[in-house]
Amino acid sequence: MLKNTLTTSMILLGLGASSAAIAEQKIAVISSFSILGDLVSEVGQEHVTVTNLVKVDGDAHVFSPTPQDAKAISKAQLVVMNGLQFEGWMPRLIEAANYQGVQVVAADGIDELSSKEAGCGHEQHDHAQHSDEHEQHDHEQHSDEHEHHDDAQHDDEHAHHDHGDIDPHAWHSIKNVKVYVRNIAKGLIQVDPENRLDYQQNAAHYTEELDQLALKLCAQLATIPEAQRKVITPHDAFAYFARDFDVTFLSPQGTSTGSEASAADVAKLIKQIRHDNVNAVFMENIADNRLIEQISRETDAKVGGKLYSDALSSPDQPASTYLKMMQYNVDTIVNALQ
């Protein structure tokens, strides 16, 4: 009898302590931008609090971290970033925060595209040839740039560019996001091994949702004849989407919003829009859309709506989660091209 009572009270104590611990000790996760933040929330659910450095509708390419951001990182238990040089400001920020905890590079292990493949769409038979040409071309171009920029501060960035002409916008491939989810789950398990099973189950469940969405989106896009699947956006954010969904994306700007489109690039694009009979151009939630409006005026291609490229929307807008963003982008493209 005594033994039973003791066991019961031990169980009660144990339960009380662990539910208090759950209520008090959520894992504080810092995510570099909103799309990743949503993925972390999906995998972490009730075990995490997620703070995004670049907020909804924000542009991570040109983000300037504040001392508050460093402070938030210094208190975090897990930091999640995209990688592929998307957040060039991140390493310095982590150093400034003197953060020693676990870091997840979500894009580790994805199927990468080079920046120069952006906009090539489904013309994969040309890729091998093109990337050869581009590599040579790039090195010449870049070494010129280097000579002009002797500034010590810029050396870091340029060194990165040389090694990684990799398009960072890998989240527009659902296949890649499944890798992101795996990496995030691994990071959470490392920080919080007690809830391993939850993280694994959440990741598996979300991966199923991703698979279902991919099938649905492919079916939607298949209703548009392939020759009509040509899309203009302000910056080259959709090369992975192009590869997965057989849509051709063209942009006046490169893979970063930090670089401006040249007049020659714009003129070339306008010529191509006329030649290829591209009949819709799109705005982006994070970009400067004036150029797109100009292109629309000069080509009679109508503005087909707004695509969500590098950030989610606020909760009252239609792209507040990754799944909603992908669905919204495909709906918008299909509606415009029909």
Instruction: Please report, as ranges, the residues that interact with Zn ion according to CB under 5 A.
Output: 237, 310
Q: Which residues of 168-192 are buried (b: 16+ CB within 10 A; e: fewer)?
A: bbbbbbbebbbbbbbbbbbbbbebb
Residue 67 structure tokens: 């001392």
Q: What is the 3-state secondary structure (H, E, C) of 154-200?
A: HHHHHHHHHHCCECCCHHHCHHHHHHHHHHHHHHHHHHCHHHHHHHH
Question: Scanning the structure block, which residue is given the tokens 């040839």?
Answer: 129
CB of 180 to Zn ion, least distance (A): 16
Q: Which is nearer to Zn ion, 33 or 206 (CB)?
A: 33
Residue 25 structure tokens: 């000790």
Asked if 250 contacts 119 with a C-beta cutoff of 8 angstroms, the reply is: yes
CB of 209 to Zn ion, least distance (A): 25
3-state SS assignment for residue 277:
coil
Q: Which is nearer to Zn ion, 72 or 333 (CB)?
A: 333
CB of 86 to Zn ion, least distance (A): 8
Crossing angle of helices 127-148 and 152-163, in 10° steps, is 170
Q: Which is nearer to Zn ion, 191 or 237 (CB)?
A: 237
Q: Which is nearer to Zn ion, 27 or 307 (CB)?
A: 307
Query: Computed from CA positions of residues 87, 88, 89, 93, in that sequence, does the dihedral angle turn out positive or negative?
Result: positive
CB of 147 to Zn ion, least distance (A): 27
Q: Which is nearer to Zn ion, 229 or 235 (CB)?
A: 235
Instruction: Please give the biggest Cα pair distance in the chain.
Output: 89
CB of 70 to Zn ion, least distance (A): 24
CB of 137 to Zn ion, least distance (A): 22
The angle subtended at Cα 153 by Cα 151 and Cα 157, nearest 5°, is 105
3-state SS assignment for residue 248:
strand
Residue 292 structure tokens: 């797109």
CB of 115 to Zn ion, least distance (A): 11
Crossing angle of helices 322-337 and 196-221, in 10° steps, is 0
Q: Which is nearer to Zn ion, 38 or 310 (CB)?
A: 310
Q: Which is nearer to Zn ion, 195 or 257 (CB)?
A: 257
